[in-house]
Amino acid sequence: MKTLKVFLFLMAFCAGIVKAQFTRVELQVSGLNCALCAKTTEKSFRALPFIADVRPDLMRNVYVLVLKNDKQVNFDQIAAVVHEENFFISSLKATFNFDNVKVVNNYFSYDGDTFELMNGTGKILNGPVDLTVVDNGFAPRYLSKKYLRQVSASPAGTTGRTYHLAM
């Protein structure tokens, strides 16, 4: 009986801990002009190890990528799929759950990568927040230029790739 109580306590405790993570990506792709191209691109997305589901919206040339909870997301791999199919990314919006995430001087780390919030000063981030990746190759050139002019040197101790995000 005591073991059962301990087990139930641990289950309740673990259920209360929410792991911060990227939950989905909305990816608008330009250059899609046939159903076969869209289906091939969808199949390539499904092959990525961190993708749980792909929901294409061919009327808007958008793919909604549902991400797995236990896998590290790699935005460069998503971009590589699009570019290998000879298309371009018009926008990449990712939903990130900020519960239990510390943002310091507009930077946060997740799964070994560093993320800079380009317009995050003074904003309180809790729960799911939609973020747009504004790096070259992930956004239109005018948007990348607008935000990447503001890039500062990454703080000491950052690891992995640094992505630049706008809210």
pLDDT of residue 10: 35
pLDDT of residue 35: 83
Write out the two tokens for 52: 């749980």
Structural domains in the chain?
20-166 (3.30.70.100)
Strand order in 107-110's β-sheet? 51-57, 62-67, 22-30, 88-97, 128-133, 162-166, 113-117, 107-110
Rounded Cα–Cα distance for residues 42 and 81 (Å)? 9
**Count of C-beta atoms within a 10 Å radius of residue 151:** 13
pLDDT of residue 16: 34
pLDDT of residue 92: 96
Collapsing DSSP to helix, strand or coil, 93 comes out as strand
pLDDT of residue 74: 93
For 10, the enclosing helix (H) or strand (E) is helix 2-16
pLDDT of residue 14: 37
Question: pTM for this one?
Answer: 0.80
pLDDT along the chain (167 residues), means of 10: 38 40 93 84 94 92 92 93 91 92 87 87 85 92 87 70 91
